[in-house]
A = this chain, B = another copy of it.
């Protein structure tokens, strides 16, 4: 099934916005085992758009179109589809009813401008939009099935999942066929190292297609599979997941598409523990990521972003002697920072980072990319040093933050639940 994506809109075509809709559609379509052969973006212009639709109809079996279904004059996708199919636009009663229901829910009158959105090409089938004003539609042109969806990402995504993917499955006459994707998130190994560890995967699990995606600083391993027995497929995924874990161990941080900060939060909740952070070079990024997780106030108490040495001394109680003797970027300093933030916050765990994000500030002994991480727990304090000699300032802040969270995560997963009932004492 030759499948293509067509994005419409001057803003995408002109580079004003980066087209993440096409990437989302491609990902979801490839997840059900269909390759996207081509992506096209055309301006909001009836001649260009209808021409592109006609060409695609000759080449493709399925085309997913997004954008240009809004109420204003520059929304010309419906007209272009009608022109390409050689039909007229007509008021679609299903589309109009859906819009009436939507506006009633908002308690707003339906405007003339919006009524234009219920004009669909003759012979098309309305695809209901339950969260926006623009209905979608599908229609066959020269034997190719076109799905027209709005460009608003949240509406497009919902309609793709609810209206388009089931119809594509039906088109393929494979209503009893199932597609599954499993993502395993990894931090601490390069893509080629992961690859090497899993080199005999295909021999062991021939029914699963293996994929790798780098999402700096993480690697995502993907399983793609297709079959008739959901339970058998789920069992196969579980077995293959365990096999991967045996090979690369705790470098796997999630089998559930959790972010590193989600995962740290989940483990802290499990342990009924709390966290405070002391950040220098990451400049608040660790706290920002932790607090992006809804409900993080249950375990995240505070972060002291002590950029200046005076703040390290005054806020965290780091010893001026230590700073003089070993400097701000050192295992001893970050241990004192971690102890300090744990003390002022009363948190179960304190993590601290101090490093050189660059571009300036490096030396032979401590080059740009050097990061020291301290971890203070009720019964131990540890200091680490690493060097990440790549990327720019932002990439270094990102990998420093991920590394600090990962050190805590590895501690939390090895936490013994037998002792969970013992009250943690705050000794330092």
Contact = CB atoms under 8 A, between A and B. Distances in A.
A48 B37 contact: yes
Contacts of A29: 15
A16 interface: yes
Contacts of A360: 294-295
A304 B301 contact: no
Nearest to A276: B311
Contact of A38 (B22, B42, B283, B287): B42
Nearest to A213: B16
Interface residues of A, number: 72
26 contacts: A12-B39, A13-B39, A15-B26, A15-B36, A16-B213, A19-B23, A37-B42, A276-B311, A277-B305, A282-B291, A283-B287, A284-B285, A285-B288, A287-B305, A287-B307, A291-B357, A294-B393, A295-B360, A300-B308, A301-B308, A302-B304, A302-B308, A302-B315, A303-B307, A304-B304, A304-B305
A159 interface: no
Given A38-B41, A301-B307, A30 B14 contact: yes
A109 interface: no
B294 A302 contact: no
Q: How many copies does the complex hold?
A: 2
Q: Is the interface of A mostly helix, strand, loop or mixed?
A: mixed
A345 interface: yes
Interface in A1-41: 12-20, 22-30, 35-41
A40 B38 contact: yes
Interface in A89-128: none
Given A314-B346, A315-B315, 16 more contacts: A13-B37, A15-B24, A15-B29, A17-B23, A19-B22, A19-B23, A37-B43, A276-B311, A277-B305, A284-B290, A284-B305, A291-B305, A294-B358, A294-B393, A300-B308, A304-B305
